[in-house]
Structure 1
Amino acid sequence: MVPRCATAWPLLLIAAPTLAGQPDAPASADAVEQLREAIGAGPGSLDHLVDAPFARVPLTRADAEKARSLVWEAHADRIRRDRAEEIQRRVIEDGELAMPFSFTRFGEKPDRGWSLFISMHGGGHAPARVNDRQWENQKTLYEVEEGIYLAPRAPTNTWNLWHEPHIDRMFGRLIENLIVLEGVDPDRVYLLGYSAGGDGVYQLAPRMADRWAAAAMMAGHPNGVSVRSLRNVPFALQVGGDDSAYNRNTVARAYGDRLDALQAADPGGYEHFVKIYEGKGHWMDREDRVALPWMAQFSRNPVPQTVIWEQTGTPHERSYWLAVPPEDATLGSIVVATRDGQEIHLTEAEGVSTLLIRLDDRMADLDRPISVSIGGEPLFEGIAPRTIATLLRTLAGRGDPGLLFDAEVAVTIPDSGTNPARRRGG
């Protein structure tokens, strides 16, 4: 018998729901069965299933959970089949670039999975041998009570070696692999770095905020980056009081003050720890290691109540439960969104034409209408249907079970003349 999905998608006869977007139970169950058959038809990418008719069928809550499990297991099988060699060889590739890495396990693996500490070396614009030495030093610079301590070697020898655009892609792929192949807990992934690695923490922590449980910057320079997107990422900042090269010491104090002000205005966010080591220069005699147990007390919340998403450095198409079409992923744009039960409130939306709001039953009751507003003005009200297509889209390129969503609502952001949030200055 040839599976129904092997050649052509069948015509589905779906009973009309009582409210637009609400699931019809028989059609929902049939969609999940067709997904099961499609996955069983043979190994391969799940991407092509996004356009299957069954992928657009609204699902019941129970069927959405079944679909989620099927999609995740198929993804994990593909990672185990196609990417195990990347971990065995200890290298991630991106085009012509390669990022070797080493890792050490500490302690016993918890039931929830290993913690992961990604530790970036210093160096920068220097001969390869200099950065090689820095990498060797970083491999043993810190220890943790529990977790995988991983030290990558930067793919280039440029001054900005840890915050070029390929780093985002390589770190994303590395984390995706380790979740499946090493049993890493995606809610306990930490970022840290020293000197040029600290530069990278300043840059990567905000622009990949939804990946991190916490981050720690040691002896680096921010190069003017905004830290508004760190609302849900506890951030440790340490520098020597006499580390005056590039004004690292004075800039660190200024960024500490900035985090103080952000937390004072928003006590629910911007957890931070700042330590200036008076009398010390660029080397802090390993006293900065206190940041690792400080970070380890935090776990990521993949669906925080409030998301502040400011695009800096390298633009991304998504952050937590927000996303934009590729053409709207532009530097300088900012969205501030808060969810409250069935309601989503936008208080800032600059540089974005279309905003995608991802949802699941962790966040709201998707059997009831949800509403989206900006500055008090309605943008959407209705059912956000759970679909296999949304599960597949949110899986692609992330491979993170915490960032897998069932439903998606697209809203058009009014231009500056009619956007209430913009008229009030956010």
Structure 2
Amino acid sequence: MYTTRIRVLVLFLLISSISNAQITDLKNWLALTSASRPPLENLSFAKQALTKNEATIVQNLLLADKQTGMLNDYGTQWDNRLLTYGNYQMPFYYQIFGTKPADGRSLFISLHGGGGTSAAANDQQYQNQQHLYDATMNSLEGVYLAPRAPTNTWNLWHQDHIDEFLNIIIQLAVLKEDVNPNKVYILGYSAGGDGLYQLAPRMADRWAAASMMAGHPNDASPLGLRNTPFAIHVGALDNAYDRNEVAQQWGTDLDRLQVNDPQGYIHDVRIHAGLGHWMNLQDAVALPWMKNHQRNPIPKRVVWKQDNRHHSSFYWLKVPQNEIISKGEILVEYSPSLNEIKILENYADSLKLLINDDMLNLDKPITIKYQDTVIHQGIFHRSILNIYENLSIKGDPNLAFPCVAFVKNNQIVVEENVTPSLNSMKDFD
């Protein structure tokens, strides 16, 4: 008995010393300029196992560094209301309504209409969008932000660069105006509505809710909206491009999806009688409707249908960029009570399951199933590198995951970015 306690104590002290050294090493790495930092994946301390408390410390350090980098890169651009990404520029306007809540402000991103027309016409639509919902926002709370599309093409709101701009906007709004990343809403009118049909499902892990006004979905699918409340507002007489009929069809599709999955696919579809493309602001009810919802960044069930504009991560799932298939579908769920993850559908040869302590108990064995077959059961370990890779793109602490289970061909599971030699110590109980 005494010998066993001594062994436990020795192992505990050894692990603690290793972990404390890891945090020191991380601080030393962060103290270097970005240009002089060696790649974190090449440093052994980044792959050594962490405890839950250590992972929290690491996450805070890495988040602070990420946010400092965002302010260095884009802080002045935000102040000047003009963002640059690659060869594109996005002017934007915003104003703040109401008193800031204790848990942070809301953010409403509002996309203007126009599209394949002159720059002057799109400028007018942008200016109109800036104050389109002022009367409604006066009774709400939040940052109302209207960006100007970088191009004047028909698909001005669903080209590849739009996703990158929105990612930048969300992170800067959090830093500059204390926006709560779980209270980010997106809406759009006409061509902005076209973009909403596309952007809402493919970036669903960023939105608390989304509202489409007077647009057309083109080839978009509602499947990814499982955890994102979605409103549709179209005039009953808005028959150009069959907007009214398509909106009704989406309503039917969302009804069917919700019947089959009652915990998901919250929606509000309104076809406004007697109105055409302009709905006399009857669509403004979408803003308070959205405000009733907050994002759950780690939903227990995720439906991911890949868009033509590829995203490598979605909620707590990830697929290597070179293995993404347009229109590919993944359906995965987890159970805290069973401490398990079940893969129900998966097209990808390589699927990464991102796991944090708010989802499952990382200090006990986790079961992973493909459909009804157990393909793995064991402890997964937290690492600095996993947290870093999660935060490096979206900078969202709610989407930080210290553990990664790499699933190959729905058969083999290995953990990623953890030094194997330390696993036996961390498994000691």
Higher helix share: 2
- Give the equivalent residue in structure 2 for 1:51: 42
Distance 1:250 1:209, change over 3 A: same
1:65 aligns with 2:56: yes
1:397 aligns with 2:393: yes
1:317 aligns with 2:298: no
State whether residues 71 and 392 of structure 1, in contact with CA within 8 Å, keep that contact through their aligned partners in structure 2. yes
The Cα of 1:261 is off from its aligned counterpart by: 0.5
Q: Which amino acid aligns with 2:342?
A: H
Q: Which amino acid aligns with 1:384?
A: F
Instruction: From 279, 285, 297, give the equivalent of 1:284.
Output: 279
Distance 1:41 1:96, change over 3 A: closer
State whether residues 29 and 37 of structure 2, in contact with CA within 8 Å, keep that contact through their aligned partners in structure 1. no
Q: Which amino acid aligns with 1:361?
A: D
Q: Residue by residue, what CA displacement relative to the aligned partner does 1:229-267 show, whole Å, maximum 9, x if unpaired?
A: 000000000100000000000110010010011001100
1:166 aligns with 2:161: yes
SS at 1:299 equivalent: coil
State whether residues 93 and 146 of structure 2, in contact with CA within 8 Å, keep that contact through their aligned partners in structure 1. yes
- Give the equivalent residue in structure 1 for 2:270: 275
- Give the equivalent residue in structure 1 for 2:328: 333
Q: Which amino acid aligns with 1:324?
A: V
- Give the equivalent residue in structure 1 for 2:255: 260
Q: Which amino acid aligns with 2:393?
A: G
Q: Which amino acid aligns with 1:167?
A: I
Q: Which amino acid aligns with 1:339?
A: Y
- Give the equivalent residue in structure 1 for 2:111: 120
Q: Which amino acid aligns with 1:174?
A: I
Q: Residue by residue, what CA displacement relative to the aligned partner does 1:173-203 show, whole Å, maximum 9, x if unpaired?
A: 1112221222111000001000010011100
Q: Which amino acid aligns with 1:183?
A: D
SS at 2:389 equivalent: helix
- Give the equivalent residue in structure 2 for 1:135: 126
Q: Which amino acid aligns with 1:269?
A: G
User: Which stretch has the larger CA shift, 196-205 or 89-98?
Assistant: 89-98
Q: Which amino acid aligns with 1:116?
A: L
- Residues in 1 aligned to 2:270 and 2:38: alpha-carbon distance in whole angstroms: 46
Q: Which amino acid aligns with 1:346?
A: I
Distance 1:300 1:246, change over 3 A: same
SS at 1:283 equivalent: coil
- Give the equivalent residue in structure 1 for 2:295: 300
- Residues in 2 aligned to 1:31 and 1:414: alpha-carbon distance in whole angstroms: 33
Instruction: From 208, 224, 232, give the equivalent of 1:237.
Output: 232
1:349 aligns with 2:349: no
The Cα of 1:45 is off from its aligned counterpart by: 8.6
TM-score normalised by length of structure 1: 0.89
The Cα of 1:397 is off from its aligned counterpart by: 1.2
The Cα of 1:414 is off from its aligned counterpart by: 4.2
- Residues in 2 aligned to 1:372 and 1:265: alpha-carbon distance in whole angstroms: 24
- Give the equivalent residue in structure 2 for 1:91: 82
State whether residues 188 and 212 of structure 1, in contact with CA within 8 Å, keep that contact through their aligned partners in structure 2. yes
SS at 2:293 equivalent: coil
Instruction: From 398, 403, 408, give the equivalent of 1:412.
Output: 408
- Give the equivalent residue in structure 1 for 2:192: 197
State whether residues 25 and 59 of structure 1, in contact with CA within 8 Å, keep that contact through their aligned partners in structure 2. no
- Residues in 1 aligned to 2:58 and 2:177: alpha-carbon distance in whole angstroms: 24
Instruction: From 74, 88, 93, give the equivalent of 1:102.
Output: 93
SS at 2:280 equivalent: coil
SS at 1:126 equivalent: coil
- Residues in 1 aligned to 2:282 and 2:403: alpha-carbon distance in whole angstroms: 46
- Give the equivalent residue in structure 2 for 1:77: 68
- Residues in 2 aligned to 1:386 and 1:59: alpha-carbon distance in whole angstroms: 5
In structure 2, runs of 5+ residues without a counterpart are 1-6, 9-13, 412-429
Q: Residue by residue, what CA displacement relative to the aligned partner does 1:304-329 show, whole Å, maximum 9, x if unpaired?
A: 00000000131100000000111122
SS at 1:238 equivalent: strand
- Give the equivalent residue in structure 1 for 2:216: 221
1:32 aligns with 2:23: yes
User: Which stretch has the larger CA shift, 91-100 or 215-224?
Assistant: 91-100
State whether residues 343 and 371 of structure 2, in contact with CA within 8 Å, keep that contact through their aligned partners in structure 1. yes
State whether residues 216 and 243 of structure 2, in contact with CA within 8 Å, keep that contact through their aligned partners in structure 1. yes
Instruction: From 149, 160, 166, give the equivalent of 2:144.
Output: 149
The Cα of 1:44 is off from its aligned counterpart by: 6.0
Q: Which amino acid aligns with 2:103?
A: R
Q: Which amino acid aligns with 1:27?
A: I
- Residues in 2 aligned to 1:402 and 1:47: alpha-carbon distance in whole angstroms: 27
Q: Residue by residue, what CA displacement relative to the aligned partner does 1:364-422 show, whole Å, maximum 9, x if unpaired?
A: 1111111211111233222211000001000111111111111111001249xxxxxxx
User: Which stretch has the larger CA shift, 117-126 or 44-53?
Assistant: 44-53
State whether residues 379 and 412 of structure 1, in contact with CA within 8 Å, keep that contact through their aligned partners in structure 2. no
Q: How many residues align?
A: 395
Q: CA RMSD in A?
A: 1.8
SS at 1:397 equivalent: helix
SS at 1:396 equivalent: helix
- Residues in 2 aligned to 1:270 and 1:284: alpha-carbon distance in whole angstroms: 25
SS at 1:368 equivalent: coil
The Cα of 1:277 is off from its aligned counterpart by: 0.4
The Cα of 1:49 is off from its aligned counterpart by: 2.4
SS at 2:39 equivalent: helix
- Residues in 1 aligned to 2:357 and 2:21: alpha-carbon distance in whole angstroms: 21
% same residue: 43
Instruction: From 352, 376, 383, give the equivalent of 1:380.
Output: 376
- Residues in 1 aligned to 2:179 and 2:205: alpha-carbon distance in whole angstroms: 16
- Residues in 1 aligned to 2:402 and 2:259: alpha-carbon distance in whole angstroms: 35
- Residues in 1 aligned to 2:35 and 2:145: alpha-carbon distance in whole angstroms: 30
Q: Which amino acid aligns with 2:323?
A: D
